[in-house]
Amino acid sequence: MPDITIDGPDGSFGAYLAVPATTPAPGLVVAQEIFGVNQVMRDICDWLAGEGYAACCPDIFWRIEPGIQITDQSEAEWQRAFELFGLFDVDKGVDDLKTTLAHLRGRPDCTGKAGSIGYCLGGKLAFLMGTRTDADCNVSYYGVGLDELLGEAGNITKPLLMHVASQDQFLPPEAQEKIKAGLAGHPQVVLHVYDGQDHAFARVGGEHYDAAAAELANGRSLAHLQASLAA
Rounded CA Rg of the chain: 16
Residues recognised as catalytic: 168, 199
Cα distances (angstroms) measured from residue 215 to each of 183, 198, 228: 25, 15, 20
- Burial grade of 88 (CB within 10 A; 0-12, 13-18, 19 or more): middle
Q: What are phi and psi of 146, to 5 degrees?
A: -70, -25
Q: What type of residue sits at position 200?
A: A
Query: Residue 54: beta bridge partners?
Result: 27
